[in-house]
Chains A and B, each alone.
Chain A
Amino acid sequence: MTNRATATIHGWLLLLPAMACLALFTHWPAIASFVDSFMSTPRARRPARFVGLDNYQQMAADPIFWKAMANNLWFAMGTIPTSIALALLMAVWVNDRIAGRTLVRMAYFTPTILPMIAVANIWLFFFTPQYGLLEQIVGAFGGRSTNWLGSQDTALYAVTVVAIWKEAGFFMIFYLAALQAIPPSLGEAAAIEGASRWTFFRRVQFPLLMPTTLFVLINAVINAFRMIDHIFVMTRGGPDNATTLLLFYIYQVGFGFWDTAYAAALTCVLLLLLALVAFVQYGWLERRTHYQ
């Protein structure tokens, strides 16, 4: 055997454990879900049988699915740009030499390390009508009492705010790391040229952060579609499905109704959606993010 062949075999052997895990926990479930989505749900006395596109037809006629889809798009539009912008702002701020820098960084990062269920419980009381924190603040300014989580008009916004609060601190860490990787000589050069702070950010820092922004964007999109835990604690998808997101609905169909076939079909749609987004991001955006 040649050296080259041995090296190849070694390489594959080193990859094997990771590949096995990936296949077992990612590829196999995805394929199984795809196959199951064309079958009926197996019941104790009625085994699964092939039903073709029945599950997908059911989905097209299912108003709750469309509601969940629309909710999820609003949720994504609400969380992604806001949390990224906030993260960038916070990172630029705590990158500077300000007093109590470590403390501020820690404060911003805290939401990320708290368990989501605990966070949701805290926010549940923030949103409580009449004596919750938000009510106290709004009331102090003479505003009217609002049932934030219990009204169709505000419930989705309320859960969106919690997600932004949680995400921004996490993304800040990536931006902070990227900002610190920018050579200080660039800043010095800009200072000698007399560039304003804004110009320096716009012409130097921001373009250099583009690869980070892409990375953060991908994470933000994935997070927007896999958000589920705080929905459980805060609204359980209510009122009348106003906060039902796609993954929550999949859980409900799969483990609440035990309609596993329909849940598999829903999962395929979610996968397809994410694949599409990934395709746009890797195939198109990535090529445009490299700075000249």
Chain B
Amino acid sequence: MRHRMRRWAPALIVLSPSLLLLAVFVYGLIGWTVNLSLQDKHNARPAAGYVGPDNYTNLFTDDINDRFVHSLKNLGIFTVVFIGGAMLLGVLWAVLLERGVRGEGFFRAVYLFPMAVSFVASGVVWRWLMNAGTGDNAGGLNAVFNGLGLGFLENRWWTDPDWGMAAMAVPAIWQLAGYVMALFLAGFRGIPTELREAALMDGCSTFQLYRHVLFPQLTPVALSALIITGHMSMKMFDLIMSVSGPQYLTEVPAVYVWQTLLTNDQAKAAAISILLLIAVALVIVPYLIHVNRVEKRS
């Protein structure tokens, strides 16, 4: 026991500054937000006392236009479409490129490039591309479709009540599919060539090779890609703000937090933030546990 202590003490002393900073600036602030979310706090007045979990329950029972539930639904749609689209495209590009086509470097750069653009800048461009005008008022993509005689492809994009949120995921897919591709490419490169050669010797078709030999090796990569895109989509704010602004139709929780803060209801905004934090944690924590286990095994 004492021997153990002696090993820990210097480590603790060295670690203490960063532990202290973490405690104050990460966990302290989270605690402060939780504390705020349990009070009645409007404007710049001092808080008017504790109200228990009211700020949380009101989001589900007493929220005008059911904005919170609606924003969750929107987030669900956005997440599914965005992750689905980015993974599909990313994997497809990776498969096309991993076999070593000519000009691979060029294509890789082109696919990855959108990721270098800031969400706000690409949002402004996509706002123009996804202009809702149709027929004579068409702009952006709709004008292109009309010019090509593909009028039936015209779309109201993010102002369409049924498809609006799915359309919002298009710019996000455009930005991050290349990133998913890069992850998978790295994964393919990490698979020992012997495996591939052995499979081909045994007379595998290309399809079988990918299905039974290569893809199973990529499970950890796929998991990382899912987690990264998943938590990105949950916190999506800047892209949605620059394409559609704070519209009810395309509101997600992060935008709702900002709107609530603007109308001076800090406690409600804090409550939404905490729920969002819990949701993101539910995605990330199991992954961290899993990674820890894998590392221990190896």
Tell me whether A and B are bound partners. no
Give the A-binding residues of B (Cβ under 8 A): none
